């Protein structure tokens, strides 16, 4: 299907999509210009795709969205990464705005790769965080009261792990998937929240 490209962008891509209805869908990713990478959001209205304005964090030149989910027509969340670490944005039915996201204390970077919202008032996002040259899994929960980081287990004797997908059937039942490294081998990681 035809989709628009950002003016002056030499490289663009879409990596996540979600639909609230047959005539209301979003696709997210990033566009790259000579000087920076910007978030990219496109919207389907039932007839055509168009670019929708999406904010980038202040003083950040490397921004991208990796996933989007829509619980209702006026309630979507997108997540990704920026120079400052994790990135989250919220659609309120009229525009996209930055939503608070967290990086654990001592983190040198982070990225959210997937998000699931079993209710308009609760979303769970997963990804990775970098601390002391280690890559560790990251889970953030978004509610009207704010965002919180959830501690999750990982097999012993591993210093590298990450989460790449999450799905929540209810606010108290989620599965997250990813991988962890033990020695030279990469192994599957499956977590359950209940």
- Tens digit of each residue's pLDDT (9 = 90 or more) over 119-157: 999 999 999 999 877 889 999 999 999 999 998 887 777
Whole domain around residue 44: which residue ranges?
1-73+89-99
CA dist 32 and 109 (Å) reads: 20
105 and 181 in a common domain: yes
Q: Cα 30–160–127 angle (5° rounding)?
A: 35
Residue 82, domain member (yes or no): no
Q: Give the closest residue to 107 by CA, choosing from 85, 123, 90, 124.
A: 85
User: Within 13 Å and on the Cβ side, how many CA atoms surround 44?
Assistant: 17
115 and 93 in a common domain: no
Q: Identify the pLDDT of residue 110.
A: 94
Residue 104, domain member (yes or no): yes
116 and 95 in a common domain: no
| Mean pLDDT of the 28-55 span | 95
Q: Identify the pLDDT of residue 36.
A: 92
134 and 93 in a common domain: no
Residue 30 class from Cβ within 10 Å (0-12 exposed, 13-18 middle, 19+ buried)?
buried
Mean pLDDT of the chain: 93
Residue 84, domain member (yes or no): no
Q: Give the closest residue to 90 by CA, choosing from 76, 101, 104.
A: 76
Give residue 101's Cα distance to chain centre: 10
Overall pTM surpassing 0.85 (yes/no): yes
CA dist 2 and 47 (Å) reads: 11
């Amino acid at each position: 299907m035809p989709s628009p490209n950002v003016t002056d962008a030499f490289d663009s891509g879409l990596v996540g999509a979600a639909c609230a209805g047959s005539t209301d869908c979003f696709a997210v990713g990033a566009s790259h210009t000579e000087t920076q990478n910007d978030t990219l959001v496109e919207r389907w209205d039932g007839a055509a795709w168009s670019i929708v304005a999406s904010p980038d964090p202040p003083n950040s030149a490397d921004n991208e969205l990796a996933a989007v989910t829509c619980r209702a027509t006026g309630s979507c969340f997108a997540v990704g990464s920026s120079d400052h670490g994790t990135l989250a944005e919220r659609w309120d039915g009229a525009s996209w705005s930055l939503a608070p996201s967290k990086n654990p204390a001592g983190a040198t970077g982070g990225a959210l790769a997937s998000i699931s919202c079993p209710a308009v008032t609760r979303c769970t996002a997963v990804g990775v965080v970098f601390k002391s040259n280690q890559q560790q899994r990251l889970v953030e929960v978004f509610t009207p009261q704010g965002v919180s980081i959830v501690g999750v287990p990982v097999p012993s004797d591993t210093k590298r792990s990450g989460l790449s997908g999450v799905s929540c059937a209810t606010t108290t039942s989620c599965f997250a998937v990813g991988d962890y490294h033990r020695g030279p081998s990469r192994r599957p990681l499956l977590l359950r929240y209940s």
